[in-house]
Amino acid sequence: MSFQLDYFSLKGKTALVTGARTGIGQAISVGLAAAGAHLILVGHRDNMQETQEKIADVNGTSETFLIDLSDVDNLGAKLEPVLAKYQIDILVNNAGVIYREPAAAHNVQEWNRVMDVNINSVFMLSQAIGNQMIANGAGKIINIASLLSFQGGINVPSYTASKHAIAGLTKALANEWASKGVQVNAIAPGYISTNNTEALRNDDVRNQSILERIPAGRWGQADDLAGTAVFLASRASDYVSGHVLVVDGGWMGR
């Protein structure tokens, strides 16, 4: 059958998004809901009311599931209540933390916390939910990578290591699971105006040098990621596998 616009529709699908309380996770959740998916919003602090309200505004439906992704012991097993209730069609591994300290002094406990949230939990969630998708013969996993999946960054060695690992894990899972109907891809956002980048925007020198290098001439907004996420979550991307899609206003091309 030739292409139809409803290949982008997520009607009847269930999507689980981690880190859905704020920023990119919130914007992607609202985008997936606007495209028709039911959302399971994963966070570790509160009931993510703002995200739920924005989803209701686009006539979407959602529920919340609280779990601390820095506590990786038996993480897959902790998801069992969700997996017993739902077939997850779309998993967005978005939750992430950043810790800024030069490499020579970089705190090892913080290194481990960044690794637990940014990569170890991503593997465990992908394994638990990926197995359900494989049994179903279909699924979409979208990992949130970074420009620091390609570049070194400054004063964030734990973050850079975790995001390089995200790019590698995306390709490794894609290689094993593409033949089973599960597409695994990543989105690498550029410089997006969220809590994660507040320190950079508050530093006039860094802010200016970042802005000067972005061909689009502006910081990205979280909403700039939503359409890409809908594409990678939808039937329209069924032959896209193991790709890290940069959404950066042109930064990497410069």
159 in active site? yes
Is the separation of the CB atoms in 26 and 39 below 8 Å?
no
Q: Which of 99, 159, 191, 239 is catalytic?
A: 159
Please give the structure tokens belonging to residue 105.
């002094």
Dihedrals phi, psi of 161, to nearest 5 degrees = -60, -40
Closest contact distance (angstroms) between CB of 177 and ligand NAP is: 21
Asked if 192 is part of the footprint of ligand NAP (rule: CB under 6 A), the reply reads yes
When binding is defined by CB under 6 A, the residue of 10, 14, 22, 126 that contacts ligand NAP is 22
User: Which residue in 242, 17, 234 sits closest to 139, CA to CA?
Assistant: 234
Asked if 96 is part of the footprint of ligand NAP (rule: CB under 6 A), the reply reads yes
Asked if 47 is part of the footprint of ligand NAP (rule: CB under 6 A), the reply reads no
Interacting residues of 188 by C-beta distance below 8 A, sequence separation 6+: 145, 146, 147, 149, 150, 167, 244, 245, 246, 247, 248
Asked if 146 is part of the footprint of ligand NAP (rule: CB under 6 A), the reply reads yes
The CA-atom distances, in angstroms, between 115 and each of 19, 96, 139, 179 are 15, 9, 25, 29
Of 117 and 133, which CB lies nearer to ligand NAP in the complex structure? Answer: 117
Asked if 39 is part of the footprint of ligand NAP (rule: CB under 6 A), the reply reads no
Closest contact distance (angstroms) between CB of 165 and ligand NAP is: 12
The alpha carbon torsion through 191, 250, 31, 124 (nearest 10 deg) reads -60
Of 10 and 186, which CB lies nearer to ligand NAP in the complex structure? Answer: 186
**What CA–CA distance (Å, rounded) separates 186 from 82?**
23
**What CA–CA distance (Å, rounded) separates 173 from 181?**
12
Asked if 94 is part of the footprint of ligand NAP (rule: CB under 6 A), the reply reads yes
Asked if 158 is part of the footprint of ligand NAP (rule: CB under 6 A), the reply reads no
Asked if 31 is part of the footprint of ligand NAP (rule: CB under 6 A), the reply reads no
Closest contact distance (angstroms) between CB of 26 and ligand NAP is: 7
Asked if 95 is part of the footprint of ligand NAP (rule: CB under 6 A), the reply reads yes
Is the separation of the CB atoms in 10 and 87 below 8 Å?
no
Dihedrals phi, psi of 234, to nearest 5 degrees = -110, 170
Binding site residues, ligand NAP, CB under 6 A: 18-19, 21-25, 43-45, 68-70, 94-97, 117, 144, 146, 189, 191-192, 194-197
Give catalytic residue positions.
Answer: 159
